[in-house]
Amino acid sequence: MQNPLRGDDIVFSYFNSVDLRFGENAISSVNFTLYGKKAFIVTGKSGSSKKNSAMKDLLNLFDSQGISYEFFSEVEENPSFDTVDKGAELFRTKRCEFVVGIGGGSPMDVAKAIAASAKMEKKVADLYRIKDTISCYPVIEITTTSGTGSEVTQYSVLTSPDDKKLGLRTNKLFPKVAIVDPRYTLTMPVDVTISTGLDALSQLVESIISKTSTPLTDAIAVKGIELIKSSLPEVVKHASSLEHRSNVAMAATFSGLTISQTGTTIVHALGYPITSHLGIRHGLANALTLSRIVKNAQRFDPERVKIATAPFGGVNGLSEFVDSIYPRPKLKLSEKDAETFAGEIDLKSGQVLNTPGNYDFGFVKEIYMSL
Ligand code: NAP
């Protein structure tokens, strides 16, 4: 049977084991007692989960379901191996039985890694080489940003002691439950709204242009891109619109579902050094190179790019949309810095190999020089 979108045979798989609960008050449908009697609650440092009421909702439910808990509120943006190791040690000392991550991608990724590290009684650095054989304590994720989709992915992206962002990827890391309540995103400041919204857009577009795309991920991603196109500009202007927040939250979760199948592309690979060395937020780092990579991919797989950019009327429309949300700054990297960044890209990784086009050191360096 022919795939009408790609012209090749339809052969694809889909595996995602997360029990997803989406919508206002979605948390109330979760029976936490299925996962243990004592929870380890992982949050970021700036206390956003208290402001957006996710923590209050969780603790009320814990009280009514007879669950005790410990807090670990030390997760920084682009979280480090050290933070995971510290959390895993505390989890074990306090004899917790499951992990709840509340926040954006940073606390959600740390929650997954703590669950694995504590169960395996190993430092997180040691999990990368044995990732497919690990086991984990149960993880429940409550997302409060609309961007990474980490609540439904099997990835934990962490920063190593030498400042490299490294993705730990294994099906063992899929959370048990993902709770997406758009009300929790209403408190996001505009800079976080923009960075996370563009992360979702990038992931959706990347999943379509990827050589690993499938008819199912295409269908989810196209819908997600349409939601971003209609509602991201609205939430940037009107932070309190629950209708539009809901649409962007749905698009972000869709982006997690798609990358849980396809992975990301060289766009993400290029973004990691920009974040590590220049401190530019993850979603913005992706936005800097997205249109450039999509333009390049068009020469090698125009059909894929047509599907990904159709909601914007083509590649130029995508580029204009990104600029309208985030006027991209000029980085003006020196040649030496561009070489350092390019040297950190693993040109043999799935992210690079699955992107239509040929990407060598010179090409990547030139992209960095052009930013
Ligand atoms: P984040 O780093 O989790 O959070 C950024 C900031 O937003 C923090 O200060 C956080 O506060 C605040 N914040 C979160 N929710 C808020 C709310 N509702 N109201 C007000 N402030 C809020 O941001 P992110 O973009 O969601 O996550 C980025 C990380 O995810 C990166 O490390 C990236 O590599 C990773 N990532 C993972 C995946 C995956 O599949 N695993 C995919 C893409 C990206 P707190 O300090 O209180 O938390």
Alpha-carbon span 180 to 104, nearest angstrom: 11
Phi, psi torsion values for 142, nearest 5 degrees? -120, 110
Quick one: what percent of the chain has pLDDT higher than 90? 96
For residue 97, give both structure tokens: 């039985």
Domain extents in the chain: 19-184, 188-370
For residue 134, give both structure tokens: 């690990």
Alpha-carbon span 53 to 24, nearest angstrom: 12
With contact defined as beta carbons under 8 Å apart, do 351 and 268 qualify?
yes
Q: How far is the CA of 196 from the centre of ligand 1 (A)?
A: 8
Quick one: what percent of the chain has pLDDT higher than 70? 97
Residue in 46, 187, 258 to alter for ligand 1 test, most ligand atoms within 8 A of Cβ:
46
Would you state the pLDDT for residue 298? 98
Name which residue sits closest to atom 13 of ligand 1, judged by CA.
48
Asked whether the whole model's pTM tops 0.95, one would answer yes
Alpha-carbon span 209 to 221, nearest angstrom: 11
Strands 98-103 and 68-75: unpaired
- Summarised one tens digit per residue, pLDDT across range 142-180 is 999 999 999 999 999 999 999 999 999 999 999 999 999
Q: Which secondary-structure segment (H or E) carries 368?
A: helix 361-370
Strands 68-75 and 38-44: parallel
Alpha-carbon span 112 to 141, nearest angstrom: 9
Class of domain 188-370: mainly alpha
Q: How far is the CA of 151 from the centre of ligand 1 (A)?
A: 11
User: Alpha helices, DSSP H only, in 210-314?
Assistant: 215-237, 242-262, 266-278, 282-300, 302-309
pLDDT category, 10, cuts 50, 70, 90? low
In terms of phi and psi (left: phi > 0; alpha: psi -120 to 50; beta: otherwise), the region of 240 is alpha
Nearest to 226 by CA among 200, 262, 187: 200
Nearest to 11 by CA among 23, 22, 1: 1
Residue in 48, 58, 204, 264 to alter for ligand 1 test, most ligand atoms within 8 A of Cβ:
48
Q: How far is the CA of 77 from the centre of ligand 1 (A)?
A: 7
User: Alpha helices, DSSP H only, in 280-356?
Assistant: 282-300, 302-309, 315-325, 335-343, 350-353
Would you state the pLDDT for residue 2? 58
Name which residue sits closest to atom 32 of ligand 1, judged by CA.
78
For residue 186, give both structure tokens: 């209403």
For residue 72, give both structure tokens: 């670990």
**Residue 29: how many other CB atoms lie within 10 Å:** 11
With contact defined as beta carbons under 8 Å apart, do 118 and 73 qualify?
no
Phi, psi torsion values for 202, nearest 5 degrees? -60, -45
Alpha-carbon span 139 to 283, nearest angstrom: 24
Residue in 148, 159, 165, 253 to alter for ligand 1 test, most ligand atoms within 8 A of Cβ:
148
Closest ligand 1 atom, residue 184 Cα: 18
Strands 165-169 and 98-103: unpaired
Q: What's the rounded mean pLDDT across residues 184-204?
A: 98
With contact defined as beta carbons under 8 Å apart, do 369 and 287 qualify?
no
Name which residue sits closest to atom 23 of ligand 1, judged by CA.
104
Which CATH fold topology does 19-184 show? Rossmann fold (3.40.50)
Name which residue sits closest to atom 7 of ligand 1, judged by CA.
192
- Summarised one tens digit per residue, pLDDT across range 12-54 is 899 999 999 999 999 999 999 999 999 999 999 999 999 999 9
